[in-house]
């Protein structure tokens, strides 16, 4: 099966006001995107996709988007950064540095803004992409901190799928689960505040799924 493009993975074609900034000239990441601008103009966008090389550049750009109010309601900012060990750039961004650098709170909001960290997916062997959503509506509605609904972690499901991509048939097993089960796993992992705890829970999920159990509760019942 042919691997999905980033346009397909992130469903980028659905956005109307789109700008892609600093895409590598030797890439064709966006060949399936109907149309897009290559320079920020004095308007708001549904989708901003930016390539960066350093953590400082990432933080500076996110701050600019927030201060200049460049995203429409429910719009997305995607940022592609070079991953550790990439063979194209001398620079890289470590994923564990992202949250502290962006000063995200326990719900994923950047500082006091309405921009919410929602997803992380692999672009290729060079780049990882993070997604930040203009989530004013969600923030106004209010998120239950102590017992958040699994539905609130729907945007994290692609991250779980990406993590399982190199683990045999587990990605297929996960994507074939009922939507609710997928979101419960996403909540279990990403409701944890610390990256180390998230990683521990990812590995626990791998162990449980590899034994054929769809959920942690079913696993516990099966071990009784």
More confident residue, 86 or 193: 86
What span, in angstroms and rounded, lies between the C-alpha atoms of 85 and 76?
27
pLDDT, position 48: 97
Which of 35-39, 112-116, 139-143, 181-185 has maximum average pLDDT? 35-39
Q: If you average pLDDT over residues 75-83, what whole number do you get?
A: 94
Look at strands 45-51 and 18-21 and give their pairing.
Answer: parallel
More confident residue, 146 or 102: 102
- Is residue 21 within 8 A of residue 67, CB to CB? The reply is no
pLDDT, position 144: 44
pLDDT, position 192: 83
pLDDT, position 143: 47
152 has a pLDDT exceeding 60 = yes
More confident residue, 188 or 217: 188
The model's pTM is: 0.63
Q: If you average pLDDT over residues 112-140, what whole number do you get?
A: 83
Out of 3.40.50.150, 3.40.50.300, 3.40.50.620, 3.30.465.10, the CATH code matching 6-134 is 3.40.50.150
Sign of CA dihedral 117, 123, 124, 127: negative
Q: If you average pLDDT over residues 150-166, what whole number do you get?
A: 86
62 has a pLDDT exceeding 50 = yes
pLDDT, position 80: 95
Strands (E), the chain: 18-21, 45-51, 71-82, 115-122, 127-134
pLDDT, position 224: 56
Q: If you average pLDDT over residues 26-30, what whole number do you get?
A: 88
Mean predicted lDDT score pLDDT of the chain: 86
Strands (E), 68-114: 71-82
Domain extent listing, the chain:
6-134, 150-218
149 has a pLDDT exceeding 70 = no
Sign of CA dihedral 177, 179, 183, 184: negative
């Amino acid at each position: 099966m042919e691997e999905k493009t980033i346009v397909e993975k992130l469903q980028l074609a659905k956005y109307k006001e789109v700008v892609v900034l600093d895409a590598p000239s030797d890439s064709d990441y966006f060949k399936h995107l109907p149309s897009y601008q290559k320079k920020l103009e004095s308007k708001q966008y549904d989708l901003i996709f930016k390539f960066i090389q350093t953590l400082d550049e990432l933080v500076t750009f996110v701050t600019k988007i927030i201060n200049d109010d460049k995203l429409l309601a429910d719009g997305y900012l995607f940022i592609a950064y070079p991953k550790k060990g990439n063979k194209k750039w001398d620079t890289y961004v470590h994923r564990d540095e992202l949250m502290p650098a962006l000063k995200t709170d326990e719900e994923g909001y950047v500082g006091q803004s309405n921009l919410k960290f929602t997803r992380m997916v692999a672009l290729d062997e060079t780049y990882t992409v993070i997604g930040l959503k203009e989530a004013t509506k969600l923030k106004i509605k209010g998120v239950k901190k102590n017992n958040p609904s699994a539905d609130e972690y729907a945007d994290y499901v692609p991250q779980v799928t990406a993590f399982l991509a190199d683990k045999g048939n587990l990605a297929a097993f996960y994507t074939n689960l009922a939507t609710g089960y997928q979101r419960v796993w996403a909540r279990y992992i990403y409701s944890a505040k610390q990256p180390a705890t998230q990683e521990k829970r990812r590995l626990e999920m791998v162990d449980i799924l590899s034994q054929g159990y769809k959920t942690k509760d079913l696993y516990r019942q099966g071990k009784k």
